[in-house]
Amino acid sequence: MRQPSLRSFIGEIFVVVLVVAVAVLGYAAYDYYTKIDEAEKSKATPPATTSSIPAEALAAVPKKKGKVRGVSIPSLNVHADVVPLAMEEGTLTPPADASLMGWWKGGAKPGADEGSVLIVGHTLHNGGGVLDRLGEVNEGDEIIVRTKNEEFTYTVRSVRDLSKEQVAKRSKRLFDPEGEARLVVVTCDDWDGTSFQGNTVVVAVP
């Protein structure tokens, strides 16, 4: 049987090497042009990500308005649940449970562009009312109002002790559902041994 010559053996090796080289170069070229094509496509159609949204657009997204669920006054270590209240014969009476605060549902909701968010709560002359110490709040203190999905922080602008007559005269301005956006917190004040003669009124702004 005739043995293959050295020349033919080398020739076969050369063919194999050439085929492998062509395959490698072909794959490299395919990979190179594929990457170029993908890069061009990515330039033409940038991915939609949150970073492409302008910062001013994100800042302009309003918080959701909702019913008041809770109120916190950190400076007094007061944290209370809130229930909705309706006017009854022209009077807004705080919840029977003195540990709760009430929100006038006929007024503004937290996050609204205008109107007073009105919160009321009991002061008890013998202690135990959720707003017993409301008069100790200072200008600049924060009051946090919680809804189901959001928290709204208000900064105290004024703290006043008013007689019932003074509250009645200022009621339209204090509790206006269409005026300046603000939070108004009211409780009883000035116990004379028989009944409360006035109110403590705290006004806070967003």
For 32-44, how does the pLDDT look when each residue is reduced to its tens digit (9 = 90+)? 444 444 444 444 4
Assess whether 161 and 108 both reside in one domain. Answer: yes
Assess whether 131 and 187 both reside in one domain. Answer: yes
pLDDT range class, residue 55, cuts 50, 70, 90 = very low
The phi, psi pair for 195, rounded to 5°, reads: -155, 170
CB 76, CB 137: distance < 8 Å: yes
CB 167, CB 174: distance < 8 Å: yes
Assess whether 32 and 78 both reside in one domain. Answer: no
Assess whether 19 and 103 both reside in one domain. Answer: no
In a domain, 169, yes or no: yes
pLDDT for 31 equals 45
Assess whether 33 and 72 both reside in one domain. Answer: no
CB 135, CB 199: distance < 8 Å: no
Domain of 12, in residue numbers:
7-38
Considering its fold, how many domains does the chain have in total? 2
SS3 of residue 43 by DSSP = helix
pLDDT range class, residue 190, cuts 50, 70, 90 = confident
Query: What CATH number is attached to the domain comprising 98?
Result: 2.40.260.10
Q: What's the Cα-to-Cα distance from 20 to each of 8, 17, 26, 41, rounded to whole Å?
A: 19, 5, 10, 31
In a domain, 183, yes or no: yes
Per residue in 10-54, pLDDT (tens digit) is 444 333 333 333 333 344 444 444 444 444 444 443 333 333 233
Assess whether 131 and 196 both reside in one domain. Answer: yes
Structure tokens at 43: 């330039």
Average pLDDT, the chain: 75
Predicted TM-score (pTM) of the model is: 0.68
Write out the catalytic residue numbers: 122, 188
CB 195, CB 188: distance < 8 Å: no
Asked if residue 95 has pLDDT above 70, the reply is: yes
In a domain, 184, yes or no: yes
pLDDT for 98 equals 93
